[in-house]
């Protein structure tokens, strides 16, 4: 979902006419139709009814219109703030994020910042939580999105979104129709993040016996490497389900039915509140909107905003 798509929908809802909407947006009627069809496919429902000369919003379309108008109003406010050159010095925002963020809503977030302020330079670093928190404490980042907050008098933290964790594995080594107990999972090779990382801190108590877990553990500090190992059948792992939507849909991985569910994983944003306060706060507000918009289009059981 792009800002342009939202603008198109609002214009179409206002004019109730493809031709006039296309004229306002300096495009063609087929382009307007394609954008509307793509939005309806993404949301999985009809947003507009068109019968002859009758043109009306569906109830879902009315809800989408209200949400888009709110988002565009906030976007215009951000664009106005960030376009003021006096508020852009220095014109660099240093953002750090874990893999689970970079693979979900980070791209639309960065795109929204670029659209609002083309002169703003964004330095993006993808690292593990420990490196990001250490970097924040050393003054290397302005904003980070990790599993732990950075603690300090000059830092502020918030929950950007929550990702549901699910046990997953390849059909090469698991039976998708079987329900696994904790002991059943413990008998399988486990793939997770390295010891002393937040995901490992969530895994170890799940089994209540770290020695048993350690004997069957393969660790990696890369989400993408873990997914690859899971697909190849080297083990099972608890992983944010939204990050493996494609693999679950294609059957490369299957969710494991378990008797004990794995807790959800909050994504914590931390930002420094000393320099360039207005700029940083505007960036944080856009991050909140981008995360919320992503969650609104995702399966609500996989990702949400508290």
pLDDT tens digits, 24-66:
999 998 999 899 999 999 899 999 987 766 678 999 999 999 9
Q: How confident is the model at residue 183 (pLDDT cuts 50, 70, 90)?
A: confident
pLDDT tens digits, 203-232:
878 887 655 565 678 889 899 999 999 999
Going through 6-88 in order, the beta strands assigned E by DSSP cover: 48-51, 54-57
Q: How confident is the model at residue 84 (pLDDT cuts 50, 70, 90)?
A: low
Rounded-to-5 percentages of helix, strand, coil across the chain: 50, 20, 30
Residue 166 phi, psi dihedral angles, 5° rounding: -140, 145
Provide the percentage of residues in the chain whose pLDDT is more than 70.
93
Q: How confident is the model at residue 76 (pLDDT cuts 50, 70, 90)?
A: confident
User: Which letter, b or e, does each residue of 134-166 get, where b requires 16 or more Cβ atoms within 10 Å of its Cβ?
Assistant: ebbeeeebbbbbbbbbbeeeebebeebbbbbbb
The terminus-to-terminus CA distance of the chain in angstroms comes to 22
Residue 88 clears pLDDT 60, i.e. is over it:
no
Average pLDDT rounded to a whole number, residues 126-155: 94
Tokens representing 28 are: 């063609």
Instruction: Write down the residue that tokens 């080594």 correspond to.
Output: 173
Torsion-angle region of residue 203: left (phi > 0), alpha (psi -120 to 50) or beta?
alpha
Instruction: Write down the residue that tokens 């969530």 correspond to.
Output: 202
Look at residue 86 in the predicted model and tell me its pLDDT.
53
From CA 250, how far away is CA 162, in angstroms rounded?
24
Burial class (CB in 10 A: 0-12, 13-18, 19+), 49: exposed
Average pLDDT rounded to a whole number, residues 178-194: 91
3 state SS of 199: helix
Q: How confident is the model at residue 202 (pLDDT cuts 50, 70, 90)?
A: confident
Average pLDDT rounded to a whole number, residues 269-283: 87
Residue 306 clears pLDDT 90, i.e. is over it:
no
Rounded (10°) CA dihedral 240, 241, 247, 253: 90
Angle, in degrees to the nearest 10, between helices 3-15 and 29-43 = 110
Look at residue 17 in the predicted model and tell me its pLDDT.
87
Instruction: Write down the residue that tokens 């420094």 correspond to.
Output: 272
């Amino acid at each position: 979902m792009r800002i342009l798509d939202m603008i198109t929908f609002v214009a179409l809802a206002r004019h109730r006419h493809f031709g006039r909407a296309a004229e306002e947006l300096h495009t063609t009627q087929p382009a307007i139709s394609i954008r509307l069809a793509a939005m309806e496919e993404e949301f999985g429902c009809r947003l507009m009814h068109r019968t002859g000369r009758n043109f009306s919003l569906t109830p879902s379309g009315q809800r989408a219109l209200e949400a888009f108008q709110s988002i565009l109003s906030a976007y215009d406010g951000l664009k106005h703030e960030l376009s003021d050159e006096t508020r852009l010095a220095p014109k660099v925002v240093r953002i750090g994020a874990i893999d689970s963020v970079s693979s979900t809503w980070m791209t639309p977030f960065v795109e929204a910042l670029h659209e609002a302020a083309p002169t703003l330079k964004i330095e993006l670093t993808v690292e593990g939580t420990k490196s990001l928190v250490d970097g924040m404490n050393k003054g290397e980042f302005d904003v980070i999105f990790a599993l732990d907050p950075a603690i300090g008098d000059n830092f502020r933290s918030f929950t950007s979104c929550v990702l549901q964790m699910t046990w997953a594995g390849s059909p090469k080594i698991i039976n998708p129709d079987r329900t696994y107990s904790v002991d059943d999972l413990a008998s399988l090779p486990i793939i997770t993040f390295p010891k002393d990382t937040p995901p490992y801190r969530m895994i170890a108590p799940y089994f209540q016996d770290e020695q048993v877990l350690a004997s069957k553990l393969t660790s990696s500090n890369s989400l993408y490497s873990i997914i690859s190992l899971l697909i190849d059948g080297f083990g099972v792992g608890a992983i944010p389900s939204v990050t493996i939507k494609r693999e679950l849909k294609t059957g490369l991985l299957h969710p494991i039915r378990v008797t004990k569910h794995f807790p959800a994983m909050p994504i914590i944003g931390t930002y420094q509140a000393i320099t360039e306060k207005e700029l940083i706060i505007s960036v944080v507000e856009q991050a909140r909107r981008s995360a919320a918009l992503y969650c609104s289009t995702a399966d609500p059981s996989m990702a949400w905003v508290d």
